[in-house]
């Protein structure tokens, strides 16, 4: 859901933070107070282009930032998009989207503090918010999403998944058949055999690359090592000043006085033991220097081995393990190619069986989808009548395209297909009597359209995964019982989604879980708008003002109290019904 919206230096808004709650958030206020600026700000965070003159007069920059908390339905999808674009999802689940605007029209968009293009905002935003009244950001306009919503509404997603799996297997068989039947297969087999032999000649299982590299590094420094070993040998044993000669002289002195003091014997014995160790170490150092000096042939051998390993890794994988895995796959493929005729026959038989199974599943899915579409259209049209749009008409158009290479169903007709089946689906509407239905994407935005979307969203309240729904201008041309019906629809919808609604009608506002009021003030000759959370008696007073003239103040207050009381009673009934 949308948790917080911060706006700075945007039109008449100087600096404002709005906190939203789950459920129904209502925003009211006088004309010109800046209510729709909240929707405009959210649109900017969804990737809309910034309008001219949006930066507050006298300011050099503007900023819009929102904090989202994706729910369980959308978190995995949003996190996958973030990870695909190398953005680390926050452990808490919080998602921060911001845009900074400069004079001259430049702007920078950020997601979790990473600069991203506007196209990325649109990609992420369509999983977070639907803005009704800003039709370009409405998920209901996407035919692919429309199909998913109908399938979700009809409880068909599991059947669609089964069809998807069968078609995936069908496509895989078709790809393998194309490869098995290729005229280039023989030369490809020869290439695989050459690659396997090249890898096996290297005997990679018998070597340790890290050990080879360590040995190479030592041999590359053979000169310095050899010189150091010989110097050490000389210091220990090599001349009259060496340690061994000095110890010999010391032992001669000790032996001459040990008879005078037996306690000195332990020093003599320790030195004799040390002398043996020193002479052994000196001998080993000399031998090691000779070994290092004569190992240049080994260095060349190691360099060649490492060059071979690098060459194989460039061709077949990033590590020895990957190269060996390539060899194993190639061996397996060679084995499969040796029986390619048998394999091709098997694949063709399986392909036909899978295509027949897919046709059966697609036909069943199509029939149930058509039934779900009819139910949804009937339900939406009933919803439209309840909110004062009885002259509007909603339809779900399902079409198929014949294709001789498609899936053949009853009647031996064959239709083009995708992993979702043989149907093409489109939401269509007519907003005035006598008009033909048109694609939903072709309708204009406005109050009637927002109510149309409300009706569709109400019907799809469980199936629709978008967590936050924004309604602007929804009360245009609405009054009386229709207004109360709209309020009830919004309140019911808010049990399944977060709903944010801008309204002038108290019959709608009384159903809110949080009532926000936009206030415009004049300070020093300049207008500035801010938002206030109104509760308790202040909310009653605001609803009374929305009801009508201040001359009937007491009457309006009582009317406002009645609205709130009835709305709460109705909401409690809905909650109990949903809980049951």
Report CA Rg, the chain: 40
C-alpha span between 521 and 561 (Å, rounded): 28
3-class secondary structure, 139: helix
C-alpha span between 455 and 475 (Å, rounded): 13
Residue 180, both tokens: 């098995």
Q: Which residues contact 72 (CB under 8 A, 6 or more apart)?
A: none
Phi and psi based region of residue 216 (left: phi greater than 0; alpha: psi -120 to 50; beta: remaining): alpha
Taking residue 406's Cβ as centre, other Cβ atoms within 10 Å add up to: 19
Task: Report the chain (580 residues): mean pLDDT per 10 consecutive residues.
Answer: 94 92 92 87 89 85 94 87 88 91 87 91 89 63 85 91 94 85 65 86 77 69 62 70 77 80 83 80 72 63 78 84 88 78 83 93 94 92 84 90 89 88 91 83 64 82 85 73 84 90 91 93 82 92 81 77 90 78
Residue 200, both tokens: 């096996």
DSSP string for residues in 62-104 = EEEEEEE---HHHHHHHHHHHHHTT-PPPTT--EEEEEEEETT
Q: Which residues contact 101 (CB under 8 A, 6 or more apart)?
A: 50, 54, 55, 61, 62, 63, 64, 107
C-alpha span between 51 and 432 (Å, rounded): 32
Return the pLDDT at 513. Answer: 94
Taking a C-beta distance cutoff of 8 angstroms, is the pair 312, 306 a contact? no
Cβ-in-10-Å burial (0-12, 13-18, 19+) of 551 comes to exposed
Return the pLDDT at 267. Answer: 82
Residue 509, both tokens: 């506002």
Determine phi and psi for 196, rounding to 5 degrees.
Answer: -60, -45
The C-alpha torsion from 429 through 435 and 441 to 443, rounded to 10°, is: -110
C-alpha span between 437 and 189 (Å, rounded): 58
Taking a C-beta distance cutoff of 8 angstroms, is the pair 440, 429 a contact? yes
C-alpha span between 19 and 500 (Å, rounded): 11
Pairing of strands 468-471, 129-132: parallel
C-alpha span between 306 and 19 (Å, rounded): 62
The C-alpha torsion from 396 through 400 and 401 to 406, rounded to 10°, is: 140
C-alpha span between 579 and 576 (Å, rounded): 5
Return the pLDDT at 341. Answer: 67
Return the pLDDT at 360. Answer: 93
DSSP string for residues in 312-331 = HHHHH-SSHHHHHHHHHHHH
* Residue ranges per structural domain of the chain: 204-331
Q: To which H or E segment does residue 362 belong? A: helix 340-386
Taking a C-beta distance cutoff of 8 angstroms, is the pair 219, 299 a contact? yes
SS3 content of the chain, % helix, strand, coil (to 5): 55, 20, 25
Taking residue 212's Cβ as centre, other Cβ atoms within 10 Å add up to: 16
Return the pLDDT at 511. Answer: 93
């Amino acid at each position: 859901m949308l948790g917080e919206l911060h706006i700075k230096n945007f039109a008449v808004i100087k600096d404002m933070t709005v906190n939203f709650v789950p459920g129904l958030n209502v925003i009211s206020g006088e004309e010109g107070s800046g209510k729709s600026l909240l929707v405009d700000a959210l649109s900017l965070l969804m990737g809309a282009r910034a309008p001219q003159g949006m930066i507050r007069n006298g300011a050099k920059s503007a900023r819009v930032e929102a904090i989202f908390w994706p729910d369980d339905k959308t978190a995995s999808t949003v996190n996958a998009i973030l990870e695909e674009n190398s953005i680390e999802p926050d452990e808490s689940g919080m998602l921060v989207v911001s845009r900074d605007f400069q004079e001259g029209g430049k702007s920078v968009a950020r997601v979790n503090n990473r600069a991203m293009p506007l196209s990325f905002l649109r990609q992420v935003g369509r999983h977070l918010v639907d803005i009704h009244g800003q039709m370009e950001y409405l998920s209901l306009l996407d035919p692919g999403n429309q199909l998913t919503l109908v399938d979700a509404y009809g409880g068909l997603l599991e059947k669609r998944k089964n069809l998807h799996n069968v078609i995936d297997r069908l496509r895989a068989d078709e790809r393998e058949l194309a490869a098995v039947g290729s005229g280039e297969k023989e030369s490809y087999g020869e290439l695989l055999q050459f690659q396997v032999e090249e890898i096996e000649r290297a005997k990679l299982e018998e070597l340790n690359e890290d050990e080879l590299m360590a040995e190479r590094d030592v041999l590359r420094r053979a000169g310095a090592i050899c010189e150091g070993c010989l110097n050490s040998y000389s210091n220990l044993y090599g001349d009259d000043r060496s340690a061994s000669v000095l110890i010999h002289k010391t032992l001669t002195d000790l032996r001459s006085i040990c008879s005078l003091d037996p306690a000195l014997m332990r020093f003599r014995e320790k030195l004799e033991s040390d002398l043996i160790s020193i002479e052994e170490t000196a001998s080993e150092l000399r031998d090691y220097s000779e070994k290092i000096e004569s190992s240049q042939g080994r260095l060349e051998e190691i360099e060649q081995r490492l060059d071979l390993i690098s060459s194989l890794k460039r061709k077949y994988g990033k590590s020895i393990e990957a190269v060996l895995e390539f060899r194993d796959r190639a061996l397996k493929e060679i084995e499969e190619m040796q029986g390619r005729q048998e394999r091709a026959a098997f694949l063709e038989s399986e392909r036909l069986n899978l295509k027949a199974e897919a046709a059966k599943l697609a036909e069943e899915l199509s029939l149930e989808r058509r039934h779900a579409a009819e139910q949804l259209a009937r339900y939406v049209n009933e919803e439209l009548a309840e909110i004062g749009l009885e002259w509007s008409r909603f339809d779900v158009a399902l079409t198929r395209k014949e294709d001789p290479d498609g899936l053949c169903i009853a009647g031996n007709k064959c239709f083009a297909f995708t992993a979702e089946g043989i149907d093409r689906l489109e939401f269509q509407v007519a907003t005035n009597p006598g008009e033909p239905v048109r694609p939903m994407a072709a309708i204009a935005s406005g109050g009637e359209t927002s109510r149309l979307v409300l009706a569709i969203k109400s019907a799809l309240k469980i199936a629709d995964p978008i967590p936050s729904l924004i309604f602007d201008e929804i009360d245009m041309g609405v009054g009386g019982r229709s207004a109360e019906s709209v309020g009830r629809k919004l309140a019911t919808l808010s049990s399944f989604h977060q709903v944010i609604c801008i309204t002038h009608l108290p019959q709608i506002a009384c159903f809110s879980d949080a009532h926000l009021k936009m206030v415009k003030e004049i300070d020093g000759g300049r207008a500035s708008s801010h938002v206030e959370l109104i509760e308790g008696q202040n909310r009653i007073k605001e609803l009374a003002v929305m009801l009508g003239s201040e001359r009937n103040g007491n009457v309006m207050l009582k009317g406002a109290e009645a609205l709130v009381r009835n709305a709460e009673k109705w909401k409690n009934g809905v909650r109990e019904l949903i809980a049951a």
